[in-house]
Structure 1
Amino acid sequence: MLRTPTPADACPDDVLGLCDQVLESTGSEGLAQAVDWFVGRPILVLVVFLVTWVVRTIARRVVTRGVQRMILTPAAVARQLERRMTRTDETGEVVADLPAEIDEARRRARAESIGAALATAVSAVVWTAGFLVAMSIIGLDLAPFIAGAGIVGVALGFGAQSLVRDCINGVFILIEDQFGIGDAVDLGPATGEVERVTLRTTVLRGVDGTVWHVPNGEIRRVGNRSQLWSMAVLDVPVSYSTDLDHARELLNEAARSVCGSEPWSGDVLDAPRVLGVESLTAEGVVLRLMVKTVPGRQWAVQRALREAIKTTFDRHGVALPYAPAAAPMPPAPEQPI
C-alpha cells in the first residue's frame, strides 16, 4: 500500500508555504518540490538580498555620519588646539586667544577617507552574511565554500601584501591625523605640500612643482612642518668685532617691527625670542632668532625677518661677516726639460 506524501516529507524547508499548498491541492510531490525550487526559494533569496541591501545602506550611512560628526565638529577640533593656538606678549602673558581655524578641505577629506574605509568594511561583512544565508536557503553545503574562501583569502593575502600594507598604513595615518591636505611634510622619499590623501597613496607637490605619489606602505617616518603651529628659525652671523648685546637688541628691534606690522602680525603666535649665541665659525658669531607662527607661514615670516634684519644692521653699521677671498697663487715656474 502506497503512503500518501505528507508536507513534512515533500517540503521540509518550506518557509513561504507554497510547497505545502501545491501538495495539498494537487497531491503531486514532484510538482510541489518544483514550485519550491523555482518559485519559493528564489523569492526567499530575493528577500534576503533585499534585506541585506537595506541593512548595508543603513549601516553605511550610520558609519559615515558618525565619522563626520567626530571629525568635522568644530568643538572637537578646538579642544585639540586650545592649548597651543594662543598669542602671548614679550613677557609670556596670554593677551588674546586665536580662533581655531582648521582647513575645511583637510578635515572633510580625512572624514571621507575614514568613512569610506569603514563603510567598505561594513558592506563586505553585511554582504558576506547575506550571501551565506542565501546559499543555505538554496541548500548548498557551506563547509567547502568557507574552506575554499579561506584558501583564496590566504592566496590573495600573499599576492597583495603591498596593497594591504598600503591600506592599513593609510587607515592609521588618517585616524591619527599625522598629516592632511595643505600640510608641508617630509616623508623621506619625497618632500612637499600634501594635495591628496587616500587609503593607498599620499600625493605631494614639491617646491619645484613635481607631483609625488607615495604609497602609504612605504612611509616609515613623517616630518610635519605645519601641524598646529610652526617655528621660524633664523641663524644670523655677525663678526667677532660686533658687540653681542647690541646685536641682540637690533635683532629684537627688527623682529618686533616685523611681528607687529601687517601683514605678518596675523601669522605670529608668540613674541620673538633671541636665544643667543648658537655657534662660532671661522667667519663670525652666529645668533639664533626664533618666532612661533601659524602652520605653514614660517617661511614667509623668515623672509620678512631677513630683510628687516639686513636693513636694521645697515642702519646701525653692523657688518655681516664674509669668508675671506682666497689669494691668487702665482703660476708655477716652468721646469727645464
Structure 2
Amino acid sequence: MSALFALLATSRTTTFALTATDDIPVDPALADACGDDPRALCEWAFDATESKWTAQLVDWLIGRPLGILLILLGAWILTRLARRYLTKVVTRLMKPNLESAKRQLVRMGIDKHEVLLGTEEPSEIVSARRTARAASISGVIGSTLTVIIWVTAFILVLGEVGLNLGPFIAGAGIIGVALGFGAQSLVKDCIAGLFMLMEDQYGIGDVVDVGEATGTVEEVALRTTVLRGIDGTVWHVPNGEIQRVGNMSQLWSTALVDIDVAYDADLDGVRTILMQTATDVCASEEWADDILEEPKVLGVETLGADGITLRLVVKTAPGAQWALQRALREAFKYALDDAGIEIPFPQRTVWMRNGDS
C-alpha cells in the first residue's frame, strides 16, 4: 500500500488535470500559462516555445485582439444581414391583398374596384403609405435586433478581456429594471404604435378622428402620430394615448346631406327633386369618377320644431365626401327655390317696450 502511495506521489507531475467545464485532460503547465480553457493560438505558442511568458504575450497581443475583432465583425455582419432581409420581408408582408379587398367590396355591392384599389401598380398615396408602414415596422424590429446583437457582442468582448461578468450582469439588470419603470409611457407608446402599423388602422393621407384631435395623417411614427387639422393645426398625438380611431377615408366613404323643408311641403315631390338633383350632380364630369353608387333618398330623418328633415346619402371614393356634400347642398338650394319649396329657418318676434309707456 505504501509503495502505491509513493508511486502516485512521484507521478503527480506527469499526470493530466481535468477541467471543471469538460472532462478533457489539460497539461498543468499549459493550464498555468493559458488557463483551463486555452485558446488555440496560446496553446500553439506554448507548444512551440515551452515558455509561459511567451504564450501569454502572444495570447494578449494577438489572440485576444483577434477574438475581439472576430466578435465585432460577426456582430456587424449579423446587423447588416438582419436589416437588409428584415426590410424585404416586412415590405412583402405589407403588400396589400387586392383580391381580398375586391371580394369585400363585392359583398358590399361596390363594383368600382379600380377607383378604390387602383390597378396592379399602386397609386402614389398607397405606395407612400405602404412604404411608411414598412419603414416604421422594420425600423423598430431592426433597432431591437441591433441592440440585442451589440449588447451580446459587448458581453462577449468583456469575456475575451477576462473580466468577471457576474457583477456587471447584475448591475445591468438593476439598471434595466429602473429604466423600465421610468419609461413605461414610452414603452406603451411604442407597443401601441407597432400594433397600429401592423393592423393598418390608418396611414398617410387618411382623415382620422383619434379623440382629442381630428385631421389628415401626415406622419405615422412608432411613438407618435402627426395630424394636421382643417385649420392648419399640427397635432402630435402619443400612440399610447389613442383609445379609439375613427378612419373616415378607408376603402370608401359616404356623403350624407340633411335637407329641411316646411311642414306643408309635398314630401313625394321633394324626394323627386332631391333624387333628380343629386343624380345630375353625381353624373357631372367633376364627380362621375368619385361616385361608387347611385344616390339614395333615405326618407324623413326627423320631425323638428321648424321643419321636416330628409336625408340623402351617396357612396364615394375615400376623402371625396366633404366636397360632394357642399356641392349637393348648393344644388339642392337652387332646385328647391326654383320649385317654390320653402327651406324653413327659425323666426323670432321681438317686442320692444318703451319704459315711459
Give the TM-score of the pair, scaled to structure 2.
0.85
On the 8 A contact 1:14/1:36 being kept in 2, the answer is no
1:209 aligns with 2:232: yes
1:128 aligns with 2:151: yes
Deviations along 1:294-324, one digit per CA (max 9) or x if unpaired, are 1111101101111111121122221111111
1:14 aligns with 2:38: yes
Deviations along 1:70-127, one digit per CA (max 9) or x if unpaired, are 11x3xx3413421355699xxx6x6654351352211111111111111112212222
Q: Identity of paired residues, percent? A: 50
Unaligned stretches of 5+ residues in structure 1? none
Q: Matched residues in 2 for 1:95 and 1:176: separation?
A: 25
Matched length:
326
Q: Matched residues in 2 for 1:55 and 1:145: separation?
A: 25
Letter in 2 for 1:228: L
Alignment partner, residue 78 of structure 1? 98
Per the TM alignment, residue 34 of structure 1 is displaced from its structure 2 partner at its CA by 2.6
Unaligned stretches of 5+ residues in structure 2? 1-9, 14-26
Change (3 A) 1:199 1:273: same
Deviations along 1:168-222, one digit per CA (max 9) or x if unpaired, are 1111111111111111111112111111110111111111111111111221221
Q: Which has the larger radius of gyration?
A: 2
Alignment partner, residue 268 of structure 1? 291
Letter in 1 for 2:155: L
On the 8 A contact 1:256/1:272 being kept in 2, the answer is yes
Of the candidates 282, 294, 318, which is equivalent to residue 317 of structure 2? Answer: 294
Secondary structure of the corresponding residue to residue 106 of structure 1: helix
Alignment partner, residue 53 of structure 2? 30
On the 8 A contact 2:112/2:292 being kept in 1, the answer is no
The structure showing larger relative contact order (alpha-carbon pairs under 8 Å, at least 6 residues apart) is 1
Q: Matched residues in 1 for 2:337 and 2:262: separation?
A: 14
Per the TM alignment, residue 224 of structure 1 is displaced from its structure 2 partner at its CA by 1.2
Alignment partner, residue 5 of structure 2? none
Q: Matched residues in 2 for 1:87 and 1:105: separation?
A: 28
1:328 aligns with 2:344: no
Alignment partner, residue 16 of structure 2? none
Alignment partner, residue 226 of structure 1? 249
Give the TM-score of the pair, scaled to structure 1.
0.89
Q: Matched residues in 1 for 2:209 and 2:77: separation?
A: 44
Secondary structure of the corresponding residue to residue 314 of structure 1: helix
Q: Matched residues in 2 for 1:291 and 1:87: separation?
A: 17
Q: Matched residues in 2 for 1:299 and 1:86: separation?
A: 24
Secondary structure of the corresponding residue to residue 103 of structure 2: coil
On the 8 A contact 1:85/1:98 being kept in 2, the answer is no
Per the TM alignment, residue 166 of structure 1 is displaced from its structure 2 partner at its CA by 1.2
Of the candidates 83, 86, 97, which is equivalent to residue 63 of structure 1? Answer: 86
TM-align CA RMSD: 2.3
1:162 aligns with 2:185: yes
Alignment partner, residue 22 of structure 2? none
Secondary structure of the corresponding residue to residue 79 of structure 2: helix
Q: Matched residues in 1 for 2:336 and 2:294: separation?
A: 21
Secondary structure of the corresponding residue to residue 98 of structure 1: helix
Of the candidates 263, 270, 280, which is equivalent to residue 247 of structure 1? Answer: 270
Q: Matched residues in 1 for 2:170 and 2:195: separation?
A: 31
Alignment partner, residue 114 of structure 2? 98
Alignment partner, residue 310 of structure 1? 333
On the 8 A contact 2:111/2:292 being kept in 1, the answer is no
1:193 aligns with 2:216: yes
Q: Matched residues in 1 for 2:46 and 2:218: separation?
A: 67
Letter in 2 for 1:36: D
Secondary structure of the corresponding residue to residue 113 of structure 1: helix
- Please say which of residues 175-184 and 18-27 is displaced more in the overlay: 18-27
